[in-house]
Structure 1
């Protein structure tokens, strides 16, 4: 047992906690729904890639001592989170503006959240306070100080990203399944409003966790 990179009991407990966190609606999953509705399956999956690229960055930061940095410079991480919340809110406002433009012009194309689903996804997750909470409060208790940190972080990253990919994709593709109805002007207008509301709700969740 001592030769394993992680403590098996701690790892199984971590998997259970991570599963609950992954399926809980939060900024990332709300973004996935909105992104799937607006961009379809390909855009939904690009957003998932972007969000999990940010998760990789968070794990890299954890390997460099993120917890110590957050304790030393808490205001810096608070500003990052506020910036992320404002970015998500801006996406929501753009979606709502697009709904009104669509109402005036029924033949207008479907609105877009931003220039890149990949970038939008990355920005949402890199500023997600759930990520800070995860790496500073949830992950540390599962680390075994008697074992090398790098292999443990690699296995925790594999589990985290694997579960996130599954749940984010499910949320996003569920939204994408509705996209085929976007050719109907009334339906399109209604979902533009829903998209904006979802993104604004995500920004509120981010702010509320600061």
Structure 2
């Protein structure tokens, strides 16, 4: 067994997946845009802190449970890994399908902000279905059953939070300007097409490691 906490090639693949997921518009990034527009740079950054605090709560919960699951049920863990690869591929196909849509999406979500940017950010991320799917389907394929779970989770948490901070901050500080560009069908199609290709490539890499 290698002395390294994670397999370097697998970790690089995870970084690629996280880069795409962090940059893809979702509840957290849409909240960052609304938060930045309404509260300014300081409020945007406070919201980013709140969202990533929630992410660390999820990682702490994962650290308490995933290690036992890996040791007790390695075959189930393999099935979860396969399901995760299929989920990433499904995300890629959905992104490609959206790239070929010609009509603008009229159902952009409305985000109502409370009094505290920090608390708002925490609540958005703690209940974010995207992060629930991340821990149930996306993360498991990258965990190596032959290595201790805690050091792996620590490195994956570092990458996840680091990329989320960069992406959320960019969305929040970009604010209204980015929101206007994402409302343009041509720009959104190009963004979705690139996202779909990257996610499909990532799903192939995940399967190749099983």
Larger Rg: 1
State the alpha-carbon separation in 1 of the partners of residues 66 and 54 from structure 2.
14
Shift of 1:168: 0.2
Structure-2-length-normalised TM-score: 0.62
State the alpha-carbon separation in 1 of the partners of residues 132 and 66 from structure 2.
9
Shift of 1:66: 6.5
Task: Give the match for residue 2 of structure 1.
Answer: 2
Task: Give the match for residue 40 of structure 1.
Answer: 40
Secondary structure of the corresponding residue to residue 175 of structure 2? helix
Cα distance change of structure 1 residues 171 and 47 upon mapping to structure 2, 3 Å threshold: same
Task: Give the match for residue 62 of structure 2.
Answer: 62
The answer for unaligned runs of 5 or more in structure 2 is: 70-108, 179-210
1:1-210 correspondence runs (5 A): 2-65=2-65, 92=111, 113-175=113-175
State the alpha-carbon separation in 2 of the partners of residues 66 and 114 from structure 1.
34
Shift of 1:132: 0.8
Shift of 1:121: 0.2
Shift of 1:59: 0.3
Task: Give the match for residue 191 of structure 1.
Answer: none
State the alpha-carbon separation in 2 of the partners of residues 123 and 135 from structure 1.
17
Shift of 1:176: 7.2
State the alpha-carbon separation in 1 of the partners of residues 40 and 133 from structure 2.
31
State the alpha-carbon separation in 2 of the partners of residues 127 and 51 from structure 1.
10
CA contact under 8 A between 2:66 and 2:149: conserved in structure 1? no
Structure-1-length-normalised TM-score: 0.62
State how many pairs are aligned: 138
Shift of 1:175: 1.3
Cα distance change of structure 1 residues 150 and 66 upon mapping to structure 2, 3 Å threshold: closer
State the alpha-carbon separation in 1 of the partners of residues 40 and 116 from structure 2.
13
- Deviation track 1:58-83 (CA, whole Å, cap 9, x = no partner) reads 10111122697xxxxxxxxxxxxxxx
The answer for unaligned runs of 5 or more in structure 1 is: 69-88, 96-112, 179-210
State the alpha-carbon separation in 1 of the partners of residues 165 and 151 from structure 2.
21
State the alpha-carbon separation in 2 of the partners of residues 144 and 15 from structure 1.
16
